[in-house]
Amino acid sequence: MRIEKEIYGEEAMENLGETLSKALKGGGVVYLEGDLGMGKTTLVRGVLRGLGYQGPVKSPTYTIVEPYEFAGLEAYHFDLYRVGNAEELEFMGIRDYFTVGSLCLIEWAEMGRGVLPEADLVISLQLIRQGRHVSFIAQSEKGNVALNVLGEAITS
């Protein structure tokens, strides 16, 4: 299953993230793909705001992971841009973050290939005119459920 949307502006990207949060309350593994400056962290900020987080959200480029706790859900925002080798992730115990009830939002997932679990949902952001083309692609049954919820939220 796939959903595509055009987004114009940072506020619209954050709002899309808030809408997406409704589809991710059950957790899952989400890969965020796109070049630098495409809005991956802005989308994550919207997801976290939609889940109830009110503080600042920055990309964890140097810390690799930033945890967030919500009632009944642990969320982790990963930025693997600076990872030189996927084995580095094993040393930090990355597999411990991927539990049944956790939500793992991963920027630059290709840097962890071979160590990371498969994505439930892949979100790809590409530059178009003055905005972004956003593709949501389900990779599992959990991803399909999330896209059904997202599709209903976008069209209502």
pLDDT for position 156? 63
- Chain-centre distance for alpha carbon 56: 16
Which residue type does 8 have?
Answer: Y
Paired residues of 68 in beta bridges:
75
In tens, the pLDDT along 51-93 reads 999 998 988 888 899 999 998 899 999 999 999 888 889 888 9
| pTM (predicted TM-score) | 0.94
Q: What is the mean pLDDT of residues 33-50?
A: 94
* Rounded average pLDDT over 112-132: 94
